[in-house]
Structure 1
Amino acid sequence: METISFDDFLKVELRVGRVLSAEPFAQARKPAYVLHVDFGPELGVRKSSAQITAHYRPEDLVGRLVVAVVNFPDKQIGPLMSECLVTGFHDADGAVALCVPDRDIPLGARLL
């Protein structure tokens, strides 16, 4: 594992957002959803492709808080321009489980 400085860590903008909508991403090579995530008035709503289909149904994602990197450059994923990276962890089977706050947090709050 590479060691980084605290200044390196501060460059990564990890923010809390609320999923407004989630739909299957039919054009994705691997099963995924298109998420629209609200990060509050400062950052607004951003789109993301998330390979989280093993543990979540679209209707169960709406309203959930997520943690995402919001300062990566936009990335073209098929026909979708992804504007943030929703974070998660691989479980023992390799499926992704979301990284989420364990209580209500203001939208746009930064992880420190």
Structure 2
Amino acid sequence: MKQNSKNTIDWQDFEKVELRVGTIIDVQDFPEARKPAYKLRVDFGKGIGVKKSSAQITDLYSKKDLLGKQVVAVVNFPVKQIGPFMSECLVTGFHRDDGAVVLATPDINLQNGARLA
């Protein structure tokens, strides 16, 4: 069987990645970023709370489009400094051939904090 990925992982590795659903509650421009980006605040519910993220998604999404949108994010990476901003989670997406990012989103609304199983 041919593998499509360079690296394989086992189930225990996958279980370490905490992919959770959250709702974007605030979107701000991020003019200090090297590439066009937004500063997001994402609500992951009671257990996790609100986390900040920087996302290079300005090609396909306006601030209005993003407000209230549910996204899938990694919530257990260490905090990362991006210019003057501290990113607390990684909002996930897929790169198109033209470089634009399409967000990974649930197709039905879920409770904030729901974990990818």
Q: Same fold (TM over 0.5)?
A: yes
| Deviations, residues 4-54 of structure 1 (Å, cap 9, x unaligned) | 000000000000000001111010000000000000000000000000000
Letter in 2 for 1:92: D
1:41 aligned onto 2:46: yes
Query: Which position in structure 2 is the counterpart of 1:94?
Result: 99
Aligned length: 112
TM-score, with structure 2 as normaliser: 0.94
Please, which of 21, 34, 42 is the counterpart of residue 29 of structure 1? 34
| Deviations, residues 32-84 of structure 1 (Å, cap 9, x unaligned) | 00000000000000000000000000111000000000000000001100000
Structure 1 unmatched runs, 5+: none
Larger radius of gyration: 2
Letter in 1 for 2:68: G
| Structure 1 stretches of at least 4 aligned residues deviating more than 3 Å after TM superposition | none
Letter in 1 for 2:100: A
Task: Give identity over the alignment, percent.
Answer: 62
Q: Cα RMSD between the aligned structures? A: 0.5
